[in-house]
């Protein structure tokens, strides 16, 4: 999930039959017009996160129509975990929508008072040896940090105190690194342990997580998950454990995957070399869906 032009995502929500049905369901579940709230703006608002789920899930189901059946395995990095659990049948669509909205609310309230000076900076052109040099310098300064995402061999996301982002950006550029963007609140950090506990107690309590209909690859370590309890743990671990995309790629290859459908408005995981070097990549985004022949029937 990342900043996405509303015109593209919003048009898809109005024209794709799967997305239209999911949007109507979301309106009923949440008690407000999701499309209108999403149009008001904000990259990571509750409505934006629900819209992301709707679009990813609708695109996955559209891709399945093209495939003529379910995929061999599926995965959902970072924010993609929530549409993943719906697609794999671990939670019904209505529960997945509700969980997405409630987690967004819990996150907003948690970071409003906790760790307000911590952000996550993403950067590329920084291979392992350079990253280790930079982290050693942060250690020498006595600064707190955590690697939140391993995206590719030279692409990482680091959580640290916001006042240090200027120093870090300059230090990376000095040796050819390229800082990209800063996320607030931070992602995939042990600092969010309290949030993990709140979500487990107030959002997921009482929900039955069914065994996935399609094996799920965990985005933290590439483990193959086949039980609902394991998927529930993955969802909770997403708050506190680093996301390791190269491990996911290795797990997909071990499963015999040769082609991946990246279902959503992706600007990252389907584009990095870890993915493109390993697989034939089909970018199943709203433009791809619009270019496909229109089906005669619509889902109920």
Max CA pair span of the chain: 64
pLDDT bin (cut points 50, 70, 90) of residue 287 is confident
The answer to whether residue 47 scores a pLDDT higher than 80 is yes
pLDDT tens for residues 230-260? 999 999 999 999 999 999 999 999 999 999 9
The two beta strands, 118-124 and 145-152, are unpaired
| Rounded Cα gap, residues 249 and 279, in angstroms | 9
Architecture, CATH, for domain 118-183:
2-Layer Sandwich (3.30)
H-run or E-run covering 19: helix 17-30
Q: Tell which CATH classification among 3.40.50.1820, 3.40.366.10, 3.30.70.100, 1.50.10.10 matches the domain 6-112+192-291.
A: 3.40.366.10
Of 66-70, 244-248, 296-300, the least confident:
296-300
Query: CA-CA distance, 144 to 140, in Å (whole number)?
Result: 11
What is the predicted pLDDT for the residue at 296? 45
**What proportion of the chain, given as a percentage, has pLDDT over 90?**
86
Among the listed residues 283, 93, 112, 274, the one whose alpha carbon sits nearest the alpha carbon of residue 185: 112
Domain boundaries, the chain: 6-112+192-291, 118-183
pLDDT at 297: 43
Res. 218 pLDDT band, cuts 50 70 90: very high
- For the stretch 125-145, pLDDT in tens is 999 999 999 999 999 999 999
Q: Are 152 and 122 in contact (CB under 8 A)?
A: no
Q: Does position 3 have pLDDT exceeding 90, yes or no?
A: no
The predicted model scores a pTM of: 0.92
Specify the pLDDT at position 295.
Answer: 55
For residue range 177-204, list pLDDT tens digits in order: 999 999 988 999 999 999 999 999 999 9
Residue owning tokens 């008001």:
40
- CA–CA separation, 79 vs 95, rounded Å? 16
Dist. CA 135–CA 146, nearest whole Å: 9
pLDDT at 299: 42
The token pair at 112 is: 């409003």
pLDDT tens figures, 135-177: 999 999 999 999 999 999 999 999 999 999 999 999 999 999 9
């Amino acid at each position: 999930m990342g900043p996405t032009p509303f015109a593209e995502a919003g048009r898809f929500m109005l024209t794709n039959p799967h997305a239209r049905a999911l949007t109507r369901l979301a309106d009923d579940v949440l008690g407000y017009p999701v499309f209108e709230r999403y149009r008001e703006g904000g990259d990571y608002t509750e409505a934006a996160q629900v819209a992301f789920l709707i679009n990813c899930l609708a695109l996955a189901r559209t891709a399945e129509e093209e495939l003529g059946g379910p995929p061999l395995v599926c995965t959902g990095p970072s924010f993609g975990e929530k549409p993943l659990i719906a697609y794999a049948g671990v939670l019904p669509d209505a529960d997945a929508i509700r969980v997405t909205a409630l987690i967004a609310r819990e996150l907003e309230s948690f970071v409003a008072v906790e760790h307000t000076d911590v952000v996550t900076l993403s950067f590329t052109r920084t291979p392992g040896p350079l990253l280790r040099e930079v982290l050693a310098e942060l250690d020498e300064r006595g600064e707190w940090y955590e690697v939140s995402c391993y995206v590719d061999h030279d692409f990482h996301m680091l959580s640290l105190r916001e006042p240090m982002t200027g120093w870090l950006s300059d230090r990376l550029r000095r040796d050819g690194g390229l800082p990209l963007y800063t996320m607030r609140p931070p992602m995939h950090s042990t600092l969010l342990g309290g949030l993990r506990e709140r979500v487990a107690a107030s959002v997921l309590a009482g929900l039955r997580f069914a065994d996935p209909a399609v094996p799920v690859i965990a985005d933290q370590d590439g483990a193959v998950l086949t039980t609902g309890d394991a998927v529930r743990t993955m969802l909770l671990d997403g708050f506190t454990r680093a996301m390791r995309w190269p491990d996911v790629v290795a797990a997909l290859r071990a499963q015999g995957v040769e082609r991946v459908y990246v279902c959503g408005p992706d600007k990252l995981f389907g584009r990095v070399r870890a993915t493109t070097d390993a697989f034939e990549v089909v970018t199943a985004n709203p433009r791809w869906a619009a270019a496909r022949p229109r089906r005669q029937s619509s889902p109920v």
